[in-house]
Amino acid sequence: MSASIAVIYYSATGNVHQLAEAVAEGAQGVGAEVRLRRVPELSTAEAIAANPAWQAHSDATSEHVEVATLADLEWANGYAFGTPTRYGNMAAPLKQFIDSTGQLWASGKLANKVATSFVSTQNQHGGAESTALALNNTFYHWGAIIVPPGYTDERVFGAGGNPYATSYPSGGGGGPIGDFHLDAARHQGARLAEYAQRLG
């Protein structure tokens, strides 16, 4: 059975979006079928317009990246969730999407699948690890099998050495992410897909 990977994320200014694309590329590179999906935005148009980087990213992706649905979770046998940190936790739009999964969870349709996470913070010590651990709490409840990057490849070290999740410290900007972090995200996506296929 081949791997079916849902890469589901929230991104405001584009950093998490770039990581999501790299995770998807990594999974596709080992033969997985991938759905790249964004969760719905919760902020007002006025709030988005007040931040040029946020507005630019919204304009660039609103019609080109499909919105995540529960059907994407039911379809997949592996999940990668991405989010910027908010006080050491996931952003509200991703949390709202996760909170809508109760019926799938109750029917056992989220269990025994592999899951991983990736994050972006403003600062190097801005809560990347605690955000990944917060997402793990969801995976525990689902009965998912967590597949972290660990220290399984040199690319993890090149991106700062976070074994919990690929994490990018943006410095507050929305500029392009360097190759080190994108390579680590590709490794994480490939690793997820490989375990999804093994556990089929």
> pLDDT tens digits for 141-165?
999 999 999 999 999 999 999 999 9
| Straight-line distance from the first to the last Cα atom of the chain, in angstroms, rounded to the nearest whole number | 5
Whether 16 and 57 have beta carbons less than 8 Å apart is answered as no
Whether 21 and 36 have beta carbons less than 8 Å apart is answered as yes
What is the sign, positive or negative, of the torsion defined by CA atoms of 159, 165, 166, 168?
Answer: negative
pLDDT single digits (tens) 52-82: 999 999 999 988 999 999 999 999 999 999 9
* Pairing status of strand 145-146 against strand 114-121: parallel
pTM over 0.85: yes
Report the chain (200 residues): mean pLDDT per 10 consecutive residues: 93 95 98 97 94 92 94 98 96 98 96 97 91 97 97 95 94 74 97 94
Per-residue model confidence (pLDDT) at position 68: 98
Distance CA(171)–CA(162), nearest Å, equals 17
SS3 (DSSP) at 146:
strand
**Beta-bridge mates of residue 118:** 82, 166
Produce one character per residue of 92-103: b if its CB has 16 or more CB atoms within 10 Å, e if not: ebbbebbeebee
H helical segments located in the chain: 15-29, 45-49, 52-61, 70-75, 92-99, 102-106, 128-142, 154-158, 179-199
Residue bearing tokens 């993890």: 156
140, HSE (Cβ side, Cα atoms, 13 Å)? 6
